[in-house]
A and B are shown apart, each in its own frame.
Chain A
Amino acid sequence: MLTTQFLLLGAVLFCIGVYGVLARKNAVMVLMSIELILNSVNINLLAFSVRHGSVDGNTFALYVIAIAAAEVGVGLAMVLLIYRNRRTIALDDLSEMKG
């Protein structure tokens, strides 16, 4: 089935995204990894939408794209501010939340 391949692609992308989030030290790279995760979810939604022959999945994919855009906007703004204050965006240095 064609959809299976799409689902596999989604799974691969998801794994790459998770790896990026966990392993990368650069905040921008982490954001990009999150984008990968979101888009893998989109591919999943579309694949299931095709399989069940309904447009619900497409609709949700559109929502996800819109929310991802907003999320990236906020995330990049935070990264920018962090960079201005500290001249670095390495996540290892940002440990103020240590309890």
Chain B
Amino acid sequence: MLAQEMTSEVVASTGWFLEHAWLIPVIPAIAFVLIIFFGKKMPMKGSELGVLSMLSSLVFSGGAAWQWIQRVNSVVDGAHEAVVEGAYHAAPYVQPVIHEWTWWQSGGFHFGIGQHIDGLALTLLVVVAFISSLVQIYSLEYLRGDRRYTHFFAALTLFSAGMLCMVLAPNMVQLILGWEIMGLCSFMLIGHWWEEEANSRAALKAFFTVRVGDVGLLIGTAILFFSANNWTQKNLGVSGFNISGLSAWAMSGEASHSALTWGAVALFIACIGKSGQFPLHTWLPDAMAGPTPVSSLLHSSTMVVAGVFLVARLYPIFWEGMKIGDTNINFIVLIGGITIVIAALLAFVQHDIKKVLAYSTVSQLGYMMMGLGAGAWLPAVFHIFTHAFFKACLFLSAGSVSHSGSHHSFDMKKDMGGLAKKMPITATTWIISTLALAGVFPLAGFFSKDEIIDNVGYGGYNAFMIVGLTGAFLTAAYMTRATYLTFFGEARGAAAGIHHDVHDAHAVVDTHTSHDTHVAVDSHDAHADHGPHESPKLITVPLMILAALALTAGLFNATPFGESWERLKKYVEPGSEYVVVGAETASEDGAQAVTMSVASMSVSSEEKVTKEGCAVVAPEAGMACYFPTVSHAPFKWSKAALSLIIVALGLVSSWMFCVQYYTRRNRRLVGLTERNKALRGGYTFLWNKYYLDELYEKVIVHSIAHPIAKAVYWVNQNILDSIVNGAGKVSRRVAGWVYRNIDQRVVDGAVNGSGAAARGTGGALRPVQSGKVNQYGALLFSAAAIGALILVIINT
């Protein structure tokens, strides 16, 4: 098979930031401890520690990203020289920078902790650190005067630390650690204003719903560990928790297929919970109960992206386990496709601006999952990247509106409208991000979302390409509705300067707005005139930075402009090349070799194989694959034009409808849901969120918990009680007989007899207890002497 093997030593450059990338999550983790212990005594109540730690994490991850680019360049250049001209060759695999130290060991298993730095990890690290920094700066103003200001920053910092820890995890154990830290912090942050019962309920719901999925994570990890451990120990010298080990195992062709499938399914259930995919997405909109910066962080770069990241990280397992290479419908693409459409439809009936964004997030996560499920790995990762910027911007804009424009209300229909004139900066950033989200041409969303749709079709999933296009239409339409209601039309409620009693008005409509009572103590200018106005600089500057990135982030991987623009493809997508594994490349002590052997597997000419690389042919002994060969759709303007037209249709039709419906109050449209039975049914169905909450709470919880409770009660009343009662009756009769016959005659006799005997003996022994110490001593020693005598006699 190996016609000619060209092994050349390509030196992959490394650097200080790459080697010490594990510091990136450690800094905020330390900051968390400091804030908890010393935060209240600091001049800015600990918030400066949070901001500083996130900024330094950003610097570290930026440095690491820069050195990674150098590394990829050095490897790619070296590989190009080594390859015969003209031969098709798989992309070179750049060895990730892996360090692993033993964290703890138990029963012969070593659980490591460390870093696994490659393009995917670095993309997420930079995005998370960047968004976290901006969100913390924004929170300085947004939460000013909050009663748990210090704790808020502590939890926010730990939250980012958890995400960073998960992103650079070299093994499943550390990944679970970061995953669970995030789960805990999301609970703390969503329930930040826990005095309102609705908020603490939302926090509990988020926690429990995600936990349902987390069971899958543990089961999946266990399945994979026990099936892969032998193989990875033998071939790579690493444990079955190791992520690169698991990838190589999945691609080796020796992995048990059922283990792969069930492991992948279990892990994907965890992703469904964490990333708010179809059946378990219900926690995400309720998570809006937290402060807006939390929603922004949760829904853009951390938490919900964790599930998508897990699929992207262990892609070989999903690739093999779900058979993504085939064009049959698999679990991931199906869930992703369903999520896109149902979440987008739900966004139409929301009154709350943040809930529109929440459903939009769910829908966009559906895009990412669908992309991953259809083999479009890079577009999905790219969509994580771009989505983080414009979704963070949208959430922060919504926060800005409520902060300064609508008197802490999030209700678009009651308290907003016409704010574009009053809040020009917020309106501009919102509109830019909306267009980016909708996927209008030069903005970020176009490049990533269109790539996903394009690649899904190219991968053979034609039905899902249509789903994607439908989703694009819906996205454009619901975002236009939200924009119109917030920034255009006539001003209503608080946006018009009207002050209704906030407590009554908000308690009815939604749950999270009631926090104005907590923030209202702040002393900044927002309440000087009580009218809508632009937000202060600490809010608008992060907005402007994010909006600028929403405009330009797409250029990082602008497929339409040719290969030189596809930077993410070059630096992030792992190569699908066969890698020679030796003991020195995978030694566990972290002294991983920086030199790697590139073995070009030229296919001999008689075998007419056009492609080479992993997932085409299983690797030979001594070789390993770390990433499947994924195909990339060639960009065509005709396809892009189609999706652009669909987006434009969505934007325009929704705008026309909004103008007619909300401002002109067109008779034919207003009240349509009351008149038309089918429409009313659809509206009610959507308004009740497909009755999923009812399904979970009333049907599942009741149908499982109530019959059990009832059965237990019945058993308790009828069986246990009758046993107890019967036993009681019988024992009373027995007791009566025993009392008369045994107690009175036998026992009492014995007791009295023994009493008399004791008295007699006592009298006889009385002289012994003389109270004289010497006499006691004499007794003791004579007894000892007798004992000694007996011993001597026995032994002789």
B-binding residues in A (CB < 8 A): 18, 21-25, 27, 30, 91-92, 94-99
Q: CA–CA, A86 to B781, complex, Å?
A: 28
Q: CA–CA, A98 to B781, complex, Å?
A: 20
Judging by beta carbons under 8 Å apart, are B772 and A95 in contact? yes
Whether B718 sits at the interface, judged by CB under 8 Å, is no
Residues of B near A96 (CB, < 8 A) are 771
CB B721 to nearest CB in A, in angstroms, measures: 55
Judging by beta carbons under 8 Å apart, are B772 and A92 in contact? yes
Closest to A97 in B: B771
With contacts A18-B781, A21-B781 taken as known, whether A95 is within 8 angstroms of B771 at the C-beta atoms is yes
Whether B773 sits at the interface, judged by CB under 8 Å, is yes
8 Å CB interface, B737-773 against A: 762, 766, 768-773
Closest to A20 in B: B777
Closest to B774 in A: A22
Residues of B near A24 (CB, < 8 A) are 774
Closest to B778 in A: A22
Contact of A91 among B762, B774, B778 (CB under 8 A): B774
With A23-B774, A94-B771, A98-B769 known, 13 other A-B pairs at CB within 8 A are: A21-B774, A21-B781, A22-B774, A22-B778, A24-B774, A30-B774, A91-B774, A94-B773, A95-B770, A95-B771, A97-B771, A99-B762, A99-B771
Judging by beta carbons under 8 Å apart, are B769 and A97 in contact? yes
Closest to A37 in B: B781
8 Å CB interface, B717-747 against A: none
Q: CA–CA, A52 to B97, complex, Å?
A: 66
Q: CA–CA, A91 to B772, complex, Å?
A: 7
Closest to A92 in B: B772
Q: CA–CA, A21 to B772, complex, Å?
A: 12
CB B782 to nearest CB in A, in angstroms, measures: 10
CB A99 to nearest CB in B, in angstroms, measures: 3
Residues of B near A21 (CB, < 8 A) are 774, 777, 781
Residues of A near B762 (CB, < 8 A) are 99
Residues of A near B770 (CB, < 8 A) are 95, 98
Q: CA–CA, A23 to B770, complex, Å?
A: 16
Q: CA–CA, A21 to B778, complex, Å?
A: 8
Residues of B near A94 (CB, < 8 A) are 771, 773
Residues of B near A30 (CB, < 8 A) are 773-774, 777
Residues of B near A92 (CB, < 8 A) are 772
CB A34 to nearest CB in B, in angstroms, measures: 9
Residues of A near B773 (CB, < 8 A) are 27, 30, 91, 94
Say what secondary structure dominates the interface of chain B. helix
Residues of B near A27 (CB, < 8 A) are 773
Q: CA–CA, A54 to B770, complex, Å?
A: 45
Residues of B near A95 (CB, < 8 A) are 770-772
Contact of A98 among B771, B777, B778 (CB under 8 A): B771
12 chain-A/chain-B pairs, Cβ below 8 angstroms: A21-B774, A21-B781, A22-B774, A24-B774, A27-B773, A91-B773, A91-B774, A94-B773, A95-B770, A97-B771, A98-B769, A99-B771
Residues of A near B766 (CB, < 8 A) are 99
Q: CA–CA, A92 to B773, complex, Å?
A: 8
CB B610 to nearest CB in A, in angstroms, measures: 84
Residues of A near B769 (CB, < 8 A) are 97-99
The 9 closest A-B pairs by CB, nearest first: A98-B771, A99-B769, A95-B771, A21-B777, A91-B773, A97-B771, A22-B778, A22-B774, A22-B777
Looking at A18, A24, A27, A92, the one whose CB has the most chain B CB atoms below 10 A away is A18
Residues of A near B771 (CB, < 8 A) are 94-99
CB A19 to nearest CB in B, in angstroms, measures: 10
CB B781 to nearest CB in A, in angstroms, measures: 5
Residues of B near A97 (CB, < 8 A) are 769, 771
Residues of B near A22 (CB, < 8 A) are 774, 777-778, 781
CB A12 to nearest CB in B, in angstroms, measures: 16
CB B372 to nearest CB in A, in angstroms, measures: 71
Q: CA–CA, A78 to B749, complex, Å?
A: 45
Closest to A95 in B: B771
Looking at B768, B769, B773, the one whose CB has the most chain A CB atoms below 10 A away is B773
CB A23 to nearest CB in B, in angstroms, measures: 7
Q: CA–CA, A25 to B772, complex, Å?
A: 10
Closest to A17 in B: B781
Closest to A21 in B: B777
Q: CA–CA, A39 to B773, complex, Å?
A: 21
Looking at B762, B768, B770, B777, the one whose CB has the most chain A CB atoms below 10 A away is B777
Q: CA–CA, A30 to B771, complex, Å?
A: 16
Closest to B766 in A: A99
Residues of A near B768 (CB, < 8 A) are 99
CB A72 to nearest CB in B, in angstroms, measures: 16
CB B367 to nearest CB in A, in angstroms, measures: 78
Q: CA–CA, A83 to B120, complex, Å?
A: 85
Q: CA–CA, A11 to B647, complex, Å?
A: 111
CB A64 to nearest CB in B, in angstroms, measures: 16
Residues of A near B772 (CB, < 8 A) are 91-92, 95
Q: CA–CA, A21 to B769, complex, Å?
A: 17
Q: CA–CA, A92 to B768, complex, Å?
A: 15
Residues of A near B777 (CB, < 8 A) are 21-22, 30
Q: CA–CA, A21 to B784, complex, Å?
A: 14
CB B777 to nearest CB in A, in angstroms, measures: 4
Residues of B near A98 (CB, < 8 A) are 769-771
CB B319 to nearest CB in A, in angstroms, measures: 68
Q: CA–CA, A96 to B781, complex, Å?
A: 22
Q: CA–CA, A99 to B761, complex, Å?
A: 13
Closest to A99 in B: B769
Looking at B762, B770, B774, B778, the one whose CB has the most chain A CB atoms below 10 A away is B774
CB B764 to nearest CB in A, in angstroms, measures: 12
Residues of A near B778 (CB, < 8 A) are 22
Closest to A24 in B: B774
Q: CA–CA, A92 to B775, complex, Å?
A: 10
CB B366 to nearest CB in A, in angstroms, measures: 76
Closest to B772 in A: A95
Q: Mark B567-601, 1 if CB is under 8 A from A, else 0.
A: 00000000000000000000000000000000000
Residues of A near B774 (CB, < 8 A) are 21-25, 30, 91
Q: CA–CA, A25 to B775, complex, Å?
A: 11
CB A95 to nearest CB in B, in angstroms, measures: 3
Q: CA–CA, A23 to B769, complex, Å?
A: 18
CB B785 to nearest CB in A, in angstroms, measures: 9
Q: CA–CA, A25 to B777, complex, Å?
A: 12
CB B792 to nearest CB in A, in angstroms, measures: 14
CB B539 to nearest CB in A, in angstroms, measures: 74
CB B571 to nearest CB in A, in angstroms, measures: 71
Q: CA–CA, A91 to B774, complex, Å?
A: 8
Q: CA–CA, A97 to B774, complex, Å?
A: 13
Closest to B765 in A: A99
